[in-house]
Chains A and B, each alone.
Chain A
Amino acid sequence: MSLESAATVPLFAEFPFEWNYIRSIIVVSLYVSVAAVALSTLCSLPIALAVGFTDFRGKGLLTSIINTGMGFPSVVVGLAVLFTVSNEGPLGSLELVFTREAMIMSQFVLAAPVVTGVSLAAVSSVEQNVRDAAYAMGGTRLDVALVTIKEARYGIATAVLAGFGRAISEVGSVLIVGGNIASADGTSKTRTLTTAIQLEAQRGRFETAMILGVVLLAIVLVVNGIVVRLGSDGGGYR
């Protein structure tokens, strides 16, 4: 309610949201997107390495399919996940509809092809002679994989960032499976920055929607900075 009174005078307030409200939607946005991208990376990286290291019939086709997945319409993914987790669906008994877990599922589906596709391109571009050298030095398959990951780390970091960007900026599927729920005291349950922006825009409050947009951009910028820092030679690991 205090949100209401604060938000109805957006032009006069310095920052037209309760701190609790804004903090909780940032937490939900980050929790859902980071979890989805972490899971995507765990699944996608081995796939990218496996596909990148082997030659087989249909590799080109598989790559095309992965790359097509980058273009999945988020609303369609949202609907598919909704059918799955709905009370009538196969996972209905888990009662996942309108939860953060369902949002993670849909963002996983959206982010995984992006992470896979971009890492695959990065892994494939590592020179064959680098891998050969690793073998020649007596490395196991795991060692060769680690060398390749190290060589391709910028590309893989880009893949993770692209997946994160896809997840955190996406509005269609999280709106459908999450329901954009915030409790009466203004604490977000499944409301993310994007769905909050959409709600503000729907209510004609374009200024507050823009403010939230700037917050979203700032978060993406910070996350990019952290990941680039971790992936660069100037990081704390040397």
Chain B
Amino acid sequence: MTIQRREFVAALAAGGAAGLAGCSTLTGDDGGDAGISGETLTLTTTTSTYNTGLLDELNAPFEDRYGVSVDAVSQGTGQALETARNGDSDVVMVHARSLEDEFMEEGYGVNRRDLMYNDFVVIGGPNDPAGIGGSDDVTEAFTAIADSESSFVSRGDDSGTHTKELEIWDETGLNVDEFGEWYQEAGQGMGDVINMATQQGAYTLADRGTYLDMQDEVDLEIHVQGPIEGGPELLANPYGIVAVNPAVHDNVEYDLAMAYIGFITSPEGQDLIENYTANGEQLFYPESLSEEPNFQQYVPEGWSADNTGNSSDSSDE
């Protein structure tokens, strides 16, 4: 019996050693943070800013300057805002103004800034079954896709891109709920949806950044251009950045969040955005710097001091 017991203890010891080995490598990784302020900013953002690699470009100099680390979590716009509502992130970078406005009106977000923009494009297989190539009216193009019942892959995930797509279908006057099998809700990120559209030669609405980043990997063409290439203004894709309200969630790193917003809306941060390219093309266009005041960026769209009935709150704007 004792021999067997010794074997058992040896096995336990081996297991323990393996566990400890894991721990020591872990603390080894964390060692770099010790001694400096070492705070961590959690940023929830969209797949389009994350997957294009822009964030790495922005975060590295910010981390160096402040001696902090940025944990960037890529989610859809809807999920990113929901994470922030729960107080699990400190700052949100998203691209659906209507959802951002809702977020601010509920009191979860403060100090919103316009950050940058690019645009959406309608992409699809090179054979273009709905014949929308070169159209400069995205509403007509969507109507043509629906009329010809050509395959269309929708994000279907409450992301900024999905919100924009539904806005366009709204413009056509068609009811998405009545669409047939040609309209597929993927419920996935932009990259996944572009991959799905490639497999099926289907149409989809994509942000230009993700499309340009993946262009070489997929067999899809731009059929309707966004405003950057002279397309309709309806396809504009503005990004905003909002800090989580520390009065609602007192655990958030509010000062760090404001430092981050300050950095990426500064001339230096905006330069980094301006100069970031993928496959030789600029992905995002900076929008924060302006000599003219732009008060609307701080408040929900259409908000004005007159219609709130509480002018004392807004007088400092």
Contacts and interface: CB of A to CB of B under 8 A. Distances in A.
Interface in A60-114: 86-88, 92-93, 95, 97-98, 100
Interface in A145-196: 146-147, 149-150, 179-181, 183-187, 189
A100 B30 CA distance: 12
Interface of B: 1, 4-5, 7-8, 10-11, 14-15, 18-19, 22-23, 25-26, 29, 42, 47, 51, 53, 55-57, 59-60, 63, 69-74, 86-88, 188-192, 194-195, 198, 213-214, 217-218, 249, 251, 278-279
A97 B192 CA distance: 25
Contacts, number: 118
A181 B71 contact: yes
Given A1-B57, A146-B1, A230-B11, A203 B71 contact: no
Contact of B10 (A87, A205, A206, A237): A237
B249 A87 contact: yes
A234 interface: no
A34 B190 CA distance: 33
A126 interface: no
B19 A189 contact: no
A143 B1 contact: yes
B22 A31 contact: yes
Given A31-B22, A35-B19, A204-B194, A183 B63 contact: yes
A31 B87 CA distance: 27
Contacts of B5: 142-143, 146
Contact of A38 (B4, B15, B63, B217): B15
Q: Which 7 A-B pairs have the closest CB atoms?
A: A87-B87, A204-B217, A202-B191, A179-B73, A184-B60, A184-B59, A31-B22
Interface residues of A, number: 47
Interface in A23-70: 24, 27, 30-31, 34-35, 38, 41
A97 B88 CA distance: 7
A186 B11 CA distance: 36
A4 interface: yes
B194 A189 contact: no
Contacts of A149: 8
Contacts of B86: 86-88
Q: Which of A87, A95, A97 has the most CB of B within 10 A?
A: A87
Given A41-B15, A86-B86, A98-B42, A181 B51 contact: no
A180 B56 contact: no
Contacts of A150: 4, 7-8
B29 A95 contact: no
Nearest to A206: B217
Contact of A34 (B19, B29, B47, B51): B19
Contact of B214 (A24, A179, A203): A203
A146 B8 contact: yes
A117 to B, nearest CB: 20
Contacts of B56: 1, 3-4, 184, 186
Given A4-B53, A184-B63, A88 B71 contact: no
Nearest to B210: A203
A139 interface: yes
